[in-house]
Amino acid sequence: MDLLWSGLLQAIRLLLAGDPEVLEITGLSLMVSGGATLVALLVGVPAGTGLALTRFPGRNLLITLVNTGMGLPPVVVGLFVTLLLWRSGPLGALRLLFTPGAMVLAQLLIAAPVVAGLTLAGIQGLHPQLRLQLLALGASPLQAVWVLLREARLALLAAVMAGFGAVISEVGAVMMVGGNIRGQTRVLTTATVLEARMGHFELAIALGVILLALSFGVNLILTALQQRR
């Protein structure tokens, strides 16, 4: 209990003191996970919407894949992306391995199915005739989709929260593809693991608290947006 308490105090101290390394780690965590969530939205929302509004052979299989993807183990994604970006791998020429770019890519693979799956569920949860009604009121197909997305706002923001939550909290993928290099690819989760392993429990707890606070802050904003009338 003492350890927890002193960890909490150290977290506050580190934040108040503006420890440059902690700030850098926190900033990188936000950038990597935020960036991955943003790209996951750009990919996942159209994919989920498309799956919800169209009918084609193999659609059910694709939905099953998306749903499976919502629970992808981060280490498996990390391994896959590592192999992909390995110097002799198919994307080795990009020289992305052990860079924040690789971490964004890995987290994108984790977040995109979550966003797509929840968007799909959100759109399918709307009244089935709403799209026809919008078209019949003179909407172009794009205008209709825009209104449908607006109507599915609750689900879409839940998708953002779930996507961001999945990536900000994962450690397996970023560890594998980023390498936890100090000053380059170290993020809150990998730093926490490292510090705990080295017996620096107070610092590990402090990093954990910062991670929780960050997650809480982001979700606070998103929830405010979601629950706005």
Partner 1 sequence: MEPVLVELAGIAVRYDGRTVLDIPHLSVAQQEVLAVVGPNGAGKSTLLQVLSFVRVPDAGRMLYAGMPVGPHDRLPLRRRTATVFQGPLLCRGSVARNVALGLSFRGVPEPERHRRVMRWLDRLGIGHLARRPARELSGGEAQRVALARAFVLEPELLLLDEPFAALDPPTRDTLLMDLRAILTQAGTTTVFVTHDRGEALMLGDRMAVLMGGRVEQCDRPQQVFMAPATEQVATFMGVETILEGTVVGCGEGISVLEVKGIRLAAAGEHPSGTRVLACLRPEDVTLSREEGGPVPSSAGNRVRGQVVQLLPSGLQYRVVVECGVSLSALVTRASHQELGLRVGMQVLATFKASALHLISRPR
Query: Which residues contribute to the site for partner 1 (CB under 8 A)?
Result: 127, 129-130, 132-140, 143, 147, 150-151, 153, 229
Q: How far is the CB of 153 from partner 1 (least distance, A)?
A: 7
Contact in structure between 98 and 178 (CB atoms under 8 Å): yes
Contact in structure between 84 and 108 (CB atoms under 8 Å): no
Q: How far is the CB of 161 from partner 1 (least distance, A)?
A: 19
Q: Which is nearer to partner 1, 15 or 139 (CB)?
A: 139
Q: Which is nearer to partner 1, 32 or 159 (CB)?
A: 159
Q: How far is the CB of 56 from partner 1 (least distance, A)?
A: 15
Q: What is the CA radius of gyration of the chain?
A: 20
Q: Which is nearer to partner 1, 45 or 105 (CB)?
A: 45
Q: Which is nearer to partner 1, 148 or 176 (CB)?
A: 148
Q: How far is the CB of 144 from partner 1 (least distance, A)?
A: 9
Q: How far is the CB of 128 from partner 1 (least distance, A)?
A: 10
- C-alpha 15/C-alpha 9 separation (Å) is 10
- C-alpha 19/C-alpha 25 separation (Å) is 10
Q: Which is nearer to partner 1, 52 or 187 (CB)?
A: 52
Q: How far is the CB of 117 from partner 1 (least distance, A)?
A: 23
- Nearby residues of 99 by Cβ (< 8 Å), 6 or more positions away: 178, 184, 185
Q: How far is the CB of 229 from partner 1 (least distance, A)?
A: 7
Q: Which is nearer to partner 1, 140 or 184 (CB)?
A: 140
- C-alpha 192/C-alpha 25 separation (Å) is 10
Q: Which is nearer to partner 1, 86 or 146 (CB)?
A: 146
